[in-house]
């Protein structure tokens, strides 16, 4: 009886682990996930960009806080572009799935530049931060230009 119970538990744990690994039950879930990621990227990068451009008062600790979150969040978008999620409420271009290498490279560059932005944030120097903001904004823009419909 004890043995059966432990098998049942193990099976339940395995199926939970599997569904977490598969990540998305439906294509709409993947679309919702990546839109959420874009919202977070925009919010946290937007605050840093606003400070870099003088639209918001410079607060070194707030830059570190936002850059820390941005560095984590920029690891996420690629996982949302699963096969079959090219249809529906999305502006994702087919090139994401036909030119995957370029798309992946673009996504990885964003994270690499976000890592540099976090390092710049930790210096507390506004000019250093400003120099690291440009590349991240450029990554956002080039990915949207190449891979997002109008
Ligand atoms: C943002 C945001 C984007 C990018 C882009 C940079 O803050 O929401 O989509 O930066 O405007 O060019």
Q: Which residue's CA lies nearest to atom 8 of ligand 1? A: 42
Mean per-residue pLDDT over the chain, rounded = 91
Residue from 138, 140, 147, 148 to probe ligand 1 pocket by mutation (most atoms less than 8 Å from CB)? 140
Atom of ligand 1 nearest to the CA of 49: 7
Indicate whether 18 pLDDT > 60: no
The tokens for 32 are 């919702």
For position 141, what pLDDT does the model report? 97
Expressed in angstroms and rounded, the spacing between residue 102 Cα and the centre of ligand 1 is: 20
User: What's the pLDDT at 21?
Assistant: 55
62 CA from centroid of ligand 1 (Å): 19
Residue 105 structure tokens: 């490279």
Which residue owns the Cα nearest ligand 1 atom 10? 137
List, in order, residues 6 or more apart from 12 with CB less than 8 Å away.
Answer: none
What is the per-residue pLDDT for 19? 47
20 — pLDDT class (breaks 50, 70, 90): very low
Going by CA atoms, what residue is nearest to atom 1 of ligand 1?
42
Which residues does residue 148 pair with via DSSP β-bridges, in sequence order? 92
pLDDT in tens, 74-116: 999 999 999 999 999 999 999 999 999 999 999 999 999 999 9
- Output DSSP code: residue 83: T
pLDDT tens, 34-52? 999 999 999 999 999 999 9
CB under 8 Å, gap of 24 or more: what pairs does 44-52 form?
44/69, 44/70, 44/73, 45/70, 45/136, 45/137, 45/140, 48/117, 48/121, 48/129, 48/133, 49/133, 49/137, 51/126, 51/129, 52/126, 52/129, 52/130, 52/133
Lowest mean pLDDT across 18-22, 106-110, 142-146: 18-22
pLDDT bin (cut points 50, 70, 90) of residue 23 is confident
């Amino acid at each position: 009886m004890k043995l059966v119970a432990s098998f049942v538990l193990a099976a339940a744990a395995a199926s939970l682990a599997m569904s977490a690994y598969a990540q998305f039950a439906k294509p709409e879930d993947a679309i919702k996930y990546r839109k959420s990621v874009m919202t977070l990227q925009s919010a946290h990068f937007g605050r840093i960009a606003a400070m870099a451009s003088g639209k918001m008062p410079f607060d070194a600790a707030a830059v570190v806080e936002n850059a820390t979150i941005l560095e984590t969040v920029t690891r996420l978008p690629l996982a949302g572009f699963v096969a079959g999620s090219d249809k529906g409420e999305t502006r994702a271009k087919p090139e994401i799935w036909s030119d995957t290498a370029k798309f992946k490279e673009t996504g990885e560059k964003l994270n690499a530049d976000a890592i540099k932005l976090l390092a710049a944030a930790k210096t507390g120097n506004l000019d250093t931060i400003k120099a690291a903001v440009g590349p991240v904004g450029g990554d956002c823009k080039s990915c949207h230009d190449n891979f997002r419909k109008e």
